[in-house]
Structure 1
Amino acid sequence: MSTNYKFEGWCGLDPSAVEGNMKWQRYDPKPFTEDDVDIRISHCGICGSDIHTLRSGWGETNYPCVVGHEIIGEAVRVGQNVKHIKEGDRVGVGAQASSCLKPNCEACADGPENHCSGMVGTYGSVYPDGSKSYGGYADYNRTPSHFVFKIPESIPSADAAPMLCAGITVYSPLKREGCGPGKKVGIIRLGGLGHFGVLFAKALGANKVVVISRTRSKEADAAKMGADAFIATEEDPEWAKQNANSLDLIISTVSSPNMPLGGYLALLRTNGTFVQVGAPEDELPGFVAFSLILKRCKIAGSCIGAPHEIQEMLQLAAEKKVKPWIQERPLRDANQAIVDMESGKARYVHVPVNEKPRDT
């Protein structure tokens, strides 16, 4: 294929972008190297991180910014140093585009490259050469090949896209903390992340999966996804007492600081673990130390996942036929999709589809 194609996409120019004010325009990607892959984008899931970034919720965004880090498409240009991808392959990119990959880097050498201090996000970050990273609400993406993955044939592109961020964000701590047969797992909030939490906890063989939410408005959906029980914290006054000491592991996908953390910790059994993966823009509330001390519990955090974990997750999804709940949207309607996502209308992931990339 000719390399004479334009990099154009939906650019956030200021915090008003989150209100549906992204502009379609051209931008300059990082200079191509023989370690890179160019992707003609077909699908790109909308992630909560896109919302936070567009409005500078986690700090000032490096505008202009093309968000989107759940990218699926066709490899149309592959550097000579790349061995695991060839032109024409269906590939994907998640939330990470680069790490230092130095042998003396503790994170890169030991495997959790997503925690490398030199980590470059798929959008809104800066590569070592000073060029910016741009995401997937666009026609094309350019990413270093180490963070480009072949997609199993059995997984549809629209399903695979949100797995590359939302999926891996919950899969990684579930697997790391021993989710499997005999384990009882709680998933807080049934949204994009949370619904993947239910799906992957079941795929990993958890004995019981409990959804924890404010109300029972999504209880029927949770049951259809495979959840075994449901706790509604605003409708059941005695929820913490009635369900105390019942869970081995809790994954919190809440992105609001207004959470009853003490109540959540009460649900844990001895040696239980609470993992926070949702990233609020404000500080989390405090808790009583005895919530941890008396049951030898721990609080942990987790951020996306390493490349080997993404590959492992995709294999599991293919084998277990993990089917996310998605709503496809035309890429041309990305502004409205962002507004709908922000207002909570997604059930449970919006995936913009780029039907006709504009080649030159």
Structure 2
Amino acid sequence: MSSSSNEPPAQTFTGWVAHDATNPLTYTTFTPKPFTETDIEIRVTHCGICGTDVHTLRSGWGPTDYPCVVGHEIIGIVERVGAAVPTLHSSPASASIRIGDRVGVGAQSMSCLRPDCEACADGQESYCARITGTYNGRYADQSKSYGGFASRWRGPAHFVFQIPDALPSAEAAPLLCGGVTVYAPLRKYGAGAGKTVGVVGIGGLGHLGILFARALGADRVVAISRSSSKRADALQGLGADAFIATGEEKGWAKTHSRSIDILLCTVSGPGMPLGQYLRLLKRDGTFVQVGAPEEALPPLMAFSLIQKSVKVTGSNIGSPEDIRQMLRLAAEKRVLPWIQKRPMDDVNAALKDMHDGRARYRYVLENGDAQAKL
């Protein structure tokens, strides 16, 4: 089955397009990549708003390739399937995708997929040197990638994922980027029985970090924030075992020294007390940076690493296999982000609220009233 109709693929889509770094998004047409035999086309029902969207729209990490349509926490219904998709050997999950299925797309829409690429051959496509982001990227044919703040999305089936029935569409959307961004390093560095996990920053990523640390079976989860304003959310709502308010608790780094095995840092402020965070780690502990500030990280004294043999590392989104495993765990353990639904046509106001830190803890855009039933 290669198409939902006998009509050729549409030449243009409609969506909320950014034309520069300062003006609001405008609802207009844009030209998606050419439809190929290995592509999927979906009708977008939901799309989460990620911090990456804000950085990209304002060219915070570098010049954005305008015009740009952001959004890479996409949920939708398959309406077109390329003829080669059912026989793809490189993408086991896509073999079962059919028209009418509910699927998701995360932050990556392509890599080189070459057998001589170490990252792709190892199933770590998110570390491929020729990665294509779901938006603000270029495919091999130099066509642009466009995201999910739109009516439709088109792209390679290798990076499209079946959504388990147990996950509602609005709650599933933030899992495709935010969820896997915290899940992948937690799993990689051994969050589970016998381990204490700390999560710095209780926001869109941080609240998911707490939820997945619990789902992975960590013995103890410590929420860390500058103020105590989110203490009740962290302890009573999200299931953290302890809370550290770094801006209110005098001597917090000394008090809680050598108490955490894995410290997941989701904040993106350049003035974060990195050296004090490292004091929290046990011997051989691991600090993982997943927040991505536009400025440089604070300086670090060598003895912060040497004295306890700690590791400072980072983690980038997640591979297709990470996403599949994460979705299965989320469905099994009922890992559901805390979301606030907003109409897609309210996107400009929602982006401002996101930038101002008003989300508790993730905004999800919806395309029309009918989609709320999914």
Question: Which TM bucket (shorter chain)?
Answer: over 0.9
Q: Which residue number corresponds to residue 360 of structure 2?
A: 347
Q: Does 1:76 align with 2:88?
A: no
Q: Which residue number corresponds to residue 293 of structure 1?
A: 306
User: Partners of 1:235 and 1:11 in 2: how far apart?
Assistant: 42
- What amino acid is aligned across from residue 96 of structure 1 in structure 2? Q
Q: Which residue number corresponds to residue 10 of structure 1?
A: 16
Q: Which runs of 5+ in 2 are unaligned?
A: 87-94
Q: Which residue number corresponds to residue 39 of structure 1?
A: 42
TM-score by length of 2: 0.93
Q: Provide the alpha-carbon RMSD of the alignment.
A: 1.0
SS of residue in 1 equivalent to 2:22: helix
Tell me which of 113, 119, 143 is aligned to 1:131: 143
Whether the aligned pair in 1 keeps the contact of 2:172 and 2:336 (CA below 8 Å) is no
Whether the aligned pair in 1 keeps the contact of 2:119 and 2:128 (CA below 8 Å) is yes
User: Partners of 1:150 and 1:274 in 2: how far apart?
Assistant: 32
Shift of 1:206: 0.4
User: Partners of 1:96 and 1:225 in 2: how far apart?
Assistant: 28
Q: Which residue number corresponds to residue 181 of structure 2?
A: 169
User: Partners of 1:237 and 1:281 in 2: how far apart?
Assistant: 29
Which whole-Å deviations, capped at 9, do the CAs of 1:169-204 have from their partners, x for residues lacking one?
A: 000000000000110000000000000000000000
Shift of 1:356: 6.3
Tell me which of 150, 154, 178 is aligned to 2:162: 150
* 1:79-94 equivalent positions in 2, closer than 5 A: 79-83=82-86, 84=95, 85-94=97-106
Which whole-Å deviations, capped at 9, do the CAs of 1:91-113 have from their partners, x for residues lacking one?
A: 00000000000000010001111
Q: Which residue number corresponds to residue 63 of structure 1?
A: 66
The sequence identity of aligned pairs, in percent, is 58
- What amino acid is aligned across from residue 303 of structure 1 in structure 2? N
Q: Does 1:103 align with 2:110?
A: no
Q: Which residue number corresponds to residue 187 of structure 1?
A: 199
Which whole-Å deviations, capped at 9, do the CAs of 1:3-25 have from their partners, x for residues lacking one?
A: 565511101111114xxx00111
User: Partners of 2:184 and 2:238 in 1: how far apart?
Assistant: 19
Tell me which of 297, 316, 319 is aligned to 1:284: 297
User: Partners of 2:313 and 2:211 in 1: how far apart?
Assistant: 21
Q: Which residue number corresponds to residue 114 of structure 1?
A: 126
Which whole-Å deviations, capped at 9, do the CAs of 1:81-134 have from their partners, x for residues lacking one?
A: 112211000000000000000000010001111000110000000111010000
Q: Which residue number corresponds to residue 339 of structure 2?
A: 326
Whether the aligned pair in 1 keeps the contact of 2:47 and 2:74 (CA below 8 Å) is yes
